[in-house]
Amino acid sequence: MNAEPNYLNANLKFSPNAIPSGKLAWRSPSNIALVKYWGKKSVQIPQNPSISFTLSKSFSETEVSYSPAVSGKSEVEFYFDGKRNLLFEEKTAGFFDGLSSIFPFVNQLKFEIHSKNTFPHSAGIASSASGMSVLAMVLCDMERQLFGTLQEEADFRRKASYIARLGSGSASRSVFGGLVIWGEAEDVSGTSDYYGFPVNEGVHEMFADYQDTILLVDAGEKKVSSSLGHGLMNGNPFAADRFHQAHGNLTALLQAMRSGDTEAFIRISESEALTLHAMMMTSQPYFLLMKPNTLQIIERIFAFREKTGLPVSFTLDAGPNVHMLFPTTIKEDVKRFIDNDLLSFLSPKGYIEDEVGKGPEKIL
């Protein structure tokens, strides 16, 4: 069991007459889980370990200007896509307030935050992973620049992942590139319930640039918040078995990815996606997030795989969109398949061709 790092640090505070001003910006990607995090304990501790691919093209880009606060507590002004966004403002202010013993300096500053996502707004793509991880990168970068701490890259990333987790569990995985585990996995040393841990070493090279084409089935807003869904696992009659199953699936999936066993990769990751939705369907209240077109697409993926023998598979997050996963070598075949057979099931926003990426990047 990896102990919780102690990040409480009263020294990370400016003397009252030396509160600085400045600006910095980061970009941080979304990720797609293969073994799902669904169910948590307080505070932001997962009920089971999860593993995901960090994406490349679906990211949040956030510029933060800071200056001395006038009120003596942190002040946040949040602009999304150029417009003031009070919902994000409230969320971010709450997140910063919760961090006041880890980063006492946030209480001394006024933040003006400008953020945008590369993926279409309201496309049903979860933005908390990219949105919260980018804020975590910014705060840790401020600590590094202004206090001279976190000079070691590993320390910097670990703390950023810890902070991102407090904002949104899945965000802890976006702090690293490639394949990332969050949550203590029995046979993978270095994993922790408190932060993400990259596990790219020894994984078959085909997964280094694996493709994730996100088929946008329904461009509406998400109907069920993740927090509510996680909460419902507390009363789900299958919860204990599910949490246990996730451990075995993670071990088997990682093994398959190390040996390049695409058949096992497909079997486990598709089963994980359907199990996630089965958990939603067996909670009280129950909810159904797949749409008829989600099933149409899944059926066609099965048929295409059967006919061609190509290793195309799907996963889902807590919504109706389908993530199609496949190796780069068959990109052209898959594109033809989508254009010929799947377009009629998609919303006008179409699809996003994403792939495994390297993680957050500092841009200012």
- Closest CB to ligand DP6 among residues 64, 166: 166
Question: Rounded to the nearest whole angstrom, what is the least distance from the CB of residue 44 to ligand DP6 in the complex?
Answer: 6
- Which residue, 33 or 312, is less far from ligand DP6 as judged by CB? 33
| Pick 158 or 230: Cβ nearer ligand DP6 | 230
Smallest distance, ligand DP6 to C-beta of residue 11, A? 29
Residue 98 CB, nearest approach to ligand DP6 (Å): 13
User: Nearest-CA neighbor of 215 among 83, 110, 304?
Assistant: 304
CB of 307 to ligand DP6, least distance (A): 30
Q: Give the residue with the Cβ less far from ligand DP6, 54 or 74.
A: 54
Binding residues for ligand DP6, rule: CB under 6 A, are 33, 36-38, 44, 50, 126, 128, 168-170, 226-227, 230, 276, 317-318
CB 200 within 8 Å of CB 43: no
Nearer to ligand DP6, 36 or 157 (CB): 36
Q: Tell me how far, at minimum, the Cβ of 102 lies from ligand DP6, in Å.
A: 18
Residue 305 CA to residue 313 CA, distance in Å, equals: 8
- Nearest approach, Cβ of residue 226 and ligand DP6 (Å): 3
Q: From the CA atom positions of the chain, what is the Rg in Å? A: 20
**Which tokens sit at 290?**
């797949």
State the Cα–Cα distance between residues 131 and 25, nearest whole angstrom: 13
Give the other-Cβ count within 10 Å of 315's Cβ.
Answer: 23
Q: Nearest 5°: CA angle at 163, between 160 and 166?
A: 150
* Cβ 71 to ligand DP6 shortest distance, Å: 28
Integer Cα distance of 356 and 151 in angstroms:
27
* Residue 12 or 164 having the CB closest to ligand DP6: 164
**What is the C-alpha end-to-end distance of the chain, expressed in Å?**
37
If the CB atoms of residues 55 and 301 are measured against ligand DP6, the closer one turns out to be 55
Alpha-carbon distances, residue 208 vs 2, 258, 281 (angstroms): 27, 11, 34
Q: How many CB atoms are closer than 10 A to CB 120?
A: 16
Q: Report the alpha-carbon distance of residue 269 to residue 305 in Å, rounded.
A: 15
Q: What beta strand segments (E) does the chain contain? A: 22-35, 40-41, 45-46, 50-68, 75-80, 83-84, 109-117, 179-182, 196-198, 211-215, 313-316, 322-326, 351-355, 361-362
CA–CA distance, 111 with 129 (Å, rounded to integer) = 21
How far, in Å, CA of 157 to CA of 144, rounded? Answer: 11
- 153-167 and 128-147 helices, crossing angle to 10°: 140
> CB 203 → ligand DP6: shortest distance, Å?
18
Nearer to ligand DP6, 110 or 173 (CB): 173
Q: Which is nearer to ligand DP6, 109 or 199 (CB)?
A: 199
- Find the shortest distance in angstroms from Cβ 130 to ligand DP6: 11
